[in-house]
Amino acid sequence: MLIGSDYRVDIEVHANLSKPAQSDKLNETVDYVHLNKIVLEEMAVRSNLLEHVAKRIINRIFLELSTVDKAQVEVSKINPPIGGDVENVTVILKVERPK
């Protein structure tokens, strides 16, 4: 994304958490530190479209976090320069892991 703009990224992931709920082992669950790393790295890549960034984030979630079955990524540009008093614009992508 272009430097100087503010963005917000919200992620929702779905996974079967019954095993880590019993075991208390980080390697059996969805690591939110890993999710944050993916977002930071993908947001650092210059892009023209919010849609493109959201799709890259989802692709990496499925590639790197095998426990995730579904992911929803919302990427918002805060105070976009589109004229008028607009707080933000948001793109939402929701994808299920390919079978």
Active site residue 37: no
Model pLDDT, residue 4:
53
Q: Residues 4-63: pLDDT tens digits?
A: 579 999 999 999 999 999 999 988 999 999 999 999 999 999 999 999 999 999 999 999
**Domain 6-96 has what CATH class?**
alpha beta
- Is 74 exposed, middle or buried (CB count within 10 Å of its CB: 0-12, 13-18, 19+)? middle
pLDDT band at 3 (very low <50, low <70, confident <90, very high): very low
pTM of the entire structure?
A: 0.88
C-beta separation of 70 from 13 below 8 A: yes
pLDDT band at 1 (very low <50, low <70, confident <90, very high): very low
The catalytic residue among 70, 77, 94, 99 is 77
Map out the domains of the chain as residue ranges: 6-96
C-beta separation of 77 from 89 below 8 A: yes
C-beta separation of 43 from 7 below 8 A: yes
Residue 84 CB coordination number (10 Å): 5
Whole-angstrom distance, CA of residue 36 vs CA of residue 11 = 9
Reading the block at residue 86, the tokens are 């607009």
More confident residue, 87 or 24: 24
